[in-house]
Structure 1
């Protein structure tokens, strides 16, 4: 199976928030995933949509693949570096702020054409024997 990858690194958004969006498109057809992301109200949907469009462009340009044949084979979010900031508080104190970042990896795969169903097995044929259980008296 041919695969096309795209990566988005150092996204200034927490990985937990991005995973909510990514979990919704995993395993879906690309056209369906694009439709879902374009109407999703979450802030993380926009960078994921841009990444998916980039992966589709890679597939078209580099491999001459048709968009209708693509599906989201893998997509996962890893945590990136944490930016540490300080929030001043009362009485000279300060509390830490941890600004998390994310790395998103997206892999598109080409869907295999569905194979024709083989001839249905006849239940009475020898190729599909049924077990005959005899009851015995004890």
Structure 2
């Protein structure tokens, strides 16, 4: 049995999220929560909310025990890119790509 939680259109680049997800993969949920609380990265705040949501899904929808849960899978995919233009010198324009992320987190119970 597994519990999933999704975070869609997060306004942070996928490569920044991937760094933090590598820290919590295959960890128990209490350890993963502690890592997210004490890591000074911008991606930690939305990922902490996502982990809490996945834990709530596991407890309420699948009747799983919170103490035996671990982060089985977590991955990030690029979302849509917002394209903006910044004016530069001599009438030129530079493109700014504001990247978004789709994050998926899967929790399972230890056997």
Q: TM-score range by the shorter chain?
A: over 0.9
Q: Which residue of 1 aligns with 2:75?
A: 76
More helix by share: 2
CA distance in 2: counterparts of 1:33 and 1:89, whole angstroms: 43
TM-score calculated relative to the size of structure 1 = 0.79
User: Which structure: larger Rg?
Assistant: 1
Q: Which residue of 1 aligns with 2:17?
A: 18
Q: Which residue of 2 aligns with 1:52?
A: 51
Q: Paired residues, what number?
A: 111
Q: Which residue of 1 aligns with 2:93?
A: 94
Quote the RMSD (CA, aligned, Å).
Answer: 0.6
Q: Could you tell me which runs of 5 or more consecutive residues in structure 1 were left unpaired when the two chains were aligned.
A: 113-138
TM-score calculated relative to the size of structure 2 = 0.98
CA distance in 2: counterparts of 1:62 and 1:84, whole angstroms: 39
User: Per-residue deviation at 1:87?
Assistant: 0.7
> Which one has more relative contact order, counting CA pairs under 8 Å at least 6 apart?
2
Q: Which residue of 1 aligns with 2:110?
A: 111
Q: Could you tell me which runs of 5 or more consecutive residues in structure 2 were left unpaired when the two chains were aligned.
A: none
CA distance in 1: counterparts of 2:85 and 2:53, whole angstroms: 36
User: Per-residue deviation at 1:56?
Assistant: 0.3
Task: Kindly provide the CA deviation profile for residues 54-73 of structure 1, in whole angstroms up to 9, marking residues without a partner as x.
Answer: 00011111122211110000
CA distance in 1: counterparts of 2:50 and 2:101, whole angstroms: 13
More strand by share: 2
